[in-house]
Structure 1
Amino acid sequence: MDQEKVSATLTVSAPATRVFTVLADPTAHAAIDGTGWVQEAVDRAPLTEVGQVFRMDMYHPNHPNGDYQVANQVQVLDPPRAIGWLTGQEKEDGHLEFGGWAWRYDLAPLGPSETEVMLTYDWSAVPQSIREYIQFPPFGPEHLTNSLHHLAELVSGR
């Protein structure tokens, strides 16, 4: 782990195209999440282009409201090699505001039925004003590993 980024890697028993398809499906994200914070996809359409926004219902016991919603904007979409998004929120006026943290999955085919998947959480763009009230990363390193194991179970059909 460097100072502003944490990653985990796992080899999964599925072709990269299958892994990418699952990652591009917002309805699968709650099952992939290693913290239990992601509850349900609000926007259920598959991720197909950079700039696309998808919202997720969330829950965290330390959030002021407990239940809340995030708005994610796709920043990387390179099927079947990489997918990533910024996480933020939608203001009452509809304006999207991002906090400076991003999720990214990089996929490396290891053959026709195996893929190395690296999940990276990057908070290097978080401004000091947000760092004053949120500790980064806001979860332990096991979150990323848990997420990759959940992904492996989904793509292998277990």
Structure 2
Amino acid sequence: MDQENVSATLTVAVPAARVFAVLADPTTHSAIDGTGWVQEAVDRAPLTEVGQIFRMDMYHANHPNGGYQTVNKVEILGPPHTIGWLTGQEKDDGHLEFGGWIWRYDLAPLGPSQTEVTLTYDWSAVPQFIRERGIQFPPFGPEHLTNSLHHLAELVSGR
């Protein structure tokens, strides 16, 4: 695959500010997740600044530990239009290591009560040594992005 990102777009019938507020709340991420891997927010504070760290409890049957924790670092924050974070892990010595993949949401208002939401998973910055570990990118099918957007739409519309 030459392209090193995958994205999906969905229009939701709510204002961009409402969508952004839900995305900036880590406690909603497990309900939005289209893979079923995100379990619960460890850090529950709203995302308010670039560089902010938030952790998520995860589960994946193929992960060596099953349950694990990711560390995320807010990389892009432009309310109410963009939000994105790098995902990584905390090493045993407390050092944070990010793999180079980013989750990004772009929100385009289509009027006062409609928003076009694009979710992008981009792995173009993944260094060669990580790629050589045999990790497949993306580690899920594109339908998981579409699933996430549908979950987000249900959440923001109160369904």
Confirm or deny a common fold (TM above 0.5).
yes
| Alignment partner of 1:154 is 2:155 | yes
Where does 1:1-158 land on structure 2 (aligned, <5 Å)? 3-132=3-132, 133-158=134-159
- SS at the partner of 1:30? helix
State how far apart, in whole Å, the 1-side matches of 2:50 and 2:108 are.
20
State how far apart, in whole Å, the 1-side matches of 2:129 and 2:88 are.
15
The residue type equivalent to 2:144 in the other structure is H
How far does the alpha carbon of each residue in 1:58-78 deviate from its partner, in whole angstroms, 9 at most, with x for none? 001110000000000000000
- SS at the partner of 2:28? helix
Give TM-score, length-normalised by structure 1.
Answer: 0.98
Aligned-residue RMSD, C-alpha? 1.0
- SS at the partner of 2:110? strand
Can you give the 5+ residue segments of structure 2 that lack an aligned partner in the other structure?
A: none
How much has 1:136 moved relative to structure 2?
0.4
Can you give the 5+ residue segments of structure 1 that lack an aligned partner in the other structure?
A: none
State how far apart, in whole Å, the 1-side matches of 2:143 and 2:129 are.
27
The residue type equivalent to 1:45 in the other structure is A
Give TM-score, length-normalised by structure 2.
Answer: 0.97
State how far apart, in whole Å, the 2-side matches of 1:78 and 1:125 are.
21
How much has 1:32 moved relative to structure 2?
0.2
- SS at the partner of 1:102? strand
State how far apart, in whole Å, the 2-side matches of 1:2 and 1:54 are.
31
State how far apart, in whole Å, the 2-side matches of 1:59 and 1:33 are.
12
How many residue pairs end up in the alignment?
158
How much has 1:129 moved relative to structure 2?
2.0
How far does the alpha carbon of each residue in 1:85-129 deviate from its partner, in whole angstroms, 9 at most, with x for none? 000001122111001100000000011111000000000011222
State how far apart, in whole Å, the 1-side matches of 2:136 and 2:2 are.
15
The residue type equivalent to 1:148 in the other structure is L
The residue type equivalent to 1:85 in the other structure is W
Identity %: 85
How much has 1:2 moved relative to structure 2?
5.7
The residue type equivalent to 2:71 in the other structure is A
